[in-house]
Amino acid sequence: MAFVHPVIGTVVVLFSLWIMSRGLRARQGGKGAHAARRTHKRWAWYALVGMLLALTSGMASTLWIRPDLELGETWHLALGWLVVGLMAIAALLTRYFTHNAQLRQIHPWIGIAAVGGGIAQAIVGIELLP
Q: What is the pLDDT of residue 102?
A: 82
Distance of CA 57 to the CA centre of its chain: 14
Average pLDDT for the chain: 92
On whether the CB atoms of residues 58 and 76 are closer than 8 A, the answer is yes
Q: What is the pLDDT of residue 76?
A: 94
Q: Region 77-103: what's the mean pLDDT?
A: 87
Q: What is the pLDDT of residue 1?
A: 66
**Confidence grade of residue 38 (pLDDT, cut at 50, 70, 90):** very high
Contacts of 114 (CB under 8 A, 6+ apart): 16, 83, 86, 87, 90
pLDDT 10s digits, 93-123:
887 776 778 888 899 999 999 999 999 999 9
